[in-house]
């Protein structure tokens, strides 16, 4: 079990306010995570990693997000890319070498799927891989690349060739010395400020051997989509967990002031705890579902599985906002202050990124399409 050391969690929490205030990359956190060998933890032992499971990484993302949601989200986004290379790269020499480097050098991986004119429709690309022979060139107007400036490599989606349709995509890991980034937009946002999700014009040249062997459509369905929704939801659950903890601490402090009487927020706290438990159950249920299907491409690409993962994303993104808002009603003005132990201002700002990270409305539209053909099996376990 690869868990987050408590000393790292405490250090991450200590820097959370300055990461948010200055919209800066949480460098102290990532130095510590590298030292704890958590960035390459999912790499199989054969390549020098720890062979950690998705459950382990979800638990670490959840713990990090309780201390600093931006750090939790960066960790989650990195592990999504690692999962794609681990699950789909072992058949190719270049990607096996990348796995070994991930473990030995604890590389930080970023992602460039979003594109100008395409937005969050990750299953379409406008840019394309170009050039004859063994080398290729790629240019992308990547409107959002979180921690692009700090990443050691970026996994980029693109069309397979200039004449390929928008949905015929590949994904390719590009190393730091193979791409140049020119800023096309800053990052002064409401929340998740430490992710530094700046827009870039990306220009790259690399070897065709680096293109992941499986089409992106398959990598997306079998790994990127479910792992993204599970790890993002774990981060949002971490925000909710800390909000509930702060609301609980507030109620217990009130109870100590007036022994024998129930503080006014106590009933709301009970309601909140039930909501939080539901959210936790949804995340754990999705992890179990992924684990059960992990080795079966047929199950991973089934409509029922996609419906379940989409539902997790939409539900978790809505619940985190609701839970933080309810926690604010419990702790009142103390939660509305930017300072003090019961403050929930950053939680609220960070939580509001969740329904926008691949718009819930877009996901709702995708699920609606699937439900035209898919019928739930009406069993207890779905």
Ligand X SMILES: Cc1cc2nc3c(=O)[nH]c(=O)nc-3n(C[C@H](O)[C@H](O)[C@H](O)COP(=O)(O)OP(=O)(O)OC[C@H]3O[C@@H](n4cnc5c(N)ncnc54)[C@H](O)[C@@H]3O)c2cc1C
Taking the complex as a whole, the smallest distance from the CB of residue 143 to ligand X amounts, in Å, to 7
Grouping H, G, I as helix, E, B as strand and the rest as coil, residue 312 is: helix
Interface with ligand X: number of residues (CB under 6 A): 22
Closer Cβ to ligand X, 316 or 330, answer by number: 316
Q: CA 114 to CA 167: how far, in whole Å?
A: 14
Q: Up-side HSE of residue 84: CA atoms within 13 Å toward CB?
A: 31
Does 357 bind ligand X (CB under 6 A)? Our answer is yes
Closer Cβ to ligand X, 131 or 365, answer by number: 365
Out of 81, 106, 111, 334, name the contact with ligand X by CB under 6 A: 111
Taking the complex as a whole, the smallest distance from the CB of residue 187 to ligand X amounts, in Å, to 9
Nearest in space to 131 (alpha carbons), one of 204, 200, 67: 204
Of the candidate spans 1-9, 287-295, 337-345, 350-358, the one that interacts with ligand X by CB under 6 A turns out to be: 350-358
Closer Cβ to ligand X, 50 or 121, answer by number: 121
Q: Where are the alpha helices (DSSP H) in the chain?
A: 6-21, 27-35, 54-67, 69-88, 93-105, 216-219, 225-257, 266-293, 297-300, 303-331, 333-336, 345-351, 360-371
Does 171 bind ligand X (CB under 6 A)? Our answer is no
Taking the complex as a whole, the smallest distance from the CB of residue 153 to ligand X amounts, in Å, to 13
Does 228 bind ligand X (CB under 6 A)? Our answer is no
Taking the complex as a whole, the smallest distance from the CB of residue 83 to ligand X amounts, in Å, to 15
DSSP H or E run through 145 = strand 135-146
Does 79 bind ligand X (CB under 6 A)? Our answer is no
Does 359 bind ligand X (CB under 6 A)? Our answer is yes
Does 362 bind ligand X (CB under 6 A)? Our answer is yes
Closer Cβ to ligand X, 57 or 155, answer by number: 155
If you write DSSP's letter for every residue of 84-133 in order, what string do you get?
A: HHHHHSTTSHHHHHHHHHHHHH---EEEE--BTTTBT-TT--S-B-B-ST
Out of 44, 119, 285, 332, name the contact with ligand X by CB under 6 A: 119
Q: Up-side HSE of residue 55: CA atoms within 13 Å toward CB?
A: 12
Q: Up-side HSE of residue 286: CA atoms within 13 Å toward CB?
A: 29
Taking the complex as a whole, the smallest distance from the CB of residue 355 to ligand X amounts, in Å, to 9
Burial profile 246-257: b = 16 or more Cβ within 10 angstroms, e = fewer: bbbebbeebeee
Does 112 bind ligand X (CB under 6 A)? Our answer is yes
Does 358 bind ligand X (CB under 6 A)? Our answer is yes
Write out the binding residues for ligand X, residues 177-206 only, by CB under 6 A.
192, 195, 197
Of the candidate spans 51-59, 81-89, 113-121, 126-134, the one that interacts with ligand X by CB under 6 A turns out to be: 113-121
Contact 148, 200 (CB under 8 A): yes
Of the candidate spans 27-35, 100-108, 132-140, 356-364, the one that interacts with ligand X by CB under 6 A turns out to be: 356-364
Q: Which residues bind ligand X (CB under 6 A)?
A: 77, 110-114, 119-120, 144-146, 192, 195, 197, 353, 356-359, 361-362, 365
């Amino acid at each position: 079990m690869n868990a987050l050391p408590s000393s790292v969690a405490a250090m991450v929490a200590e820097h959370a306010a300055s990461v948010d205030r200055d919209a800066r990359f949480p460098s102290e956190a990532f130095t510590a995570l590298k030292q704890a060998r958590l960035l390459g933890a999912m790499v199989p032992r054969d390549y020098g990693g720890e062979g950690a499971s998705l459950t382990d990484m979800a638990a670490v993302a959840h713990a990090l997000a309780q201390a600093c949601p931006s750090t939790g989200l960066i960790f989650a986004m990195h592990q999504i890319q690692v999962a794609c290379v681990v699950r789909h790269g072992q058949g190719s020499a270049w990607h096996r070498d990348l796995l070994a480097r991930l473990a030995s050098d604890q590389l930080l991986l970023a992602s460039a799927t979003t594109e100008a004119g395409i937005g969050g429709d990750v299953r379409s690309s406008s840019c394309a891989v170009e050039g004859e022979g063994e080398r290729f060139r790629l240019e992308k107007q990547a409107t959002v690349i979180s921690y692009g400036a700090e990443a050691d490599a970026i996994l980029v989606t693109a069309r397979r060739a200039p004449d390929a349709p928008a949905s015929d995509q590949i994904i390719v890991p590009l190393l730091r010395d193979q791409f140049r980034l020119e800023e096309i937009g800053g990052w002064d946002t409401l929340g998740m400020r430490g992710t530094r999700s700046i827009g870039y014009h990306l220009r790259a040249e690399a070897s065709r051997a680096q293109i992941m062997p499986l089409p992106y459509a398959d990598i997306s369905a079998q790994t990127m989509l479910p792992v993204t929704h599970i790890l993002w939801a774990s981060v949002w659950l971490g925000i909710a967990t800390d909000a509930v903890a702060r609301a609980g601490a507030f109620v217990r402090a009130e109870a100590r002031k007036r022994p024998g009487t129930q503080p006014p927020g106590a009933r709301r706290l009970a309601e909140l705890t039930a909501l939080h438990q539901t959210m936790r159950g949804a995340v754990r249920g999705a992890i179990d579902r992924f684990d059960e299907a992990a080795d079966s491409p047929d199950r991973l690409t089934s409509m029922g599985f996609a419906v379940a993962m989409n539902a997790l994303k939409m539900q978790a993104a809505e619940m985190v906002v609701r839970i933080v808002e309810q926690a604010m009603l419990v702790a009142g003005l103390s939660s509305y202050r930017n300072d003090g132990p019961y403050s929930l201002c950053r939680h609220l700002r960070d939580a509001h990124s969740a329904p926008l990270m691949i718009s819930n409305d877009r996901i709702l539209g995708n699920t609606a399409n699937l439900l035209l053909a898919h019928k739930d099996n009406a069993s207890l376990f779905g």
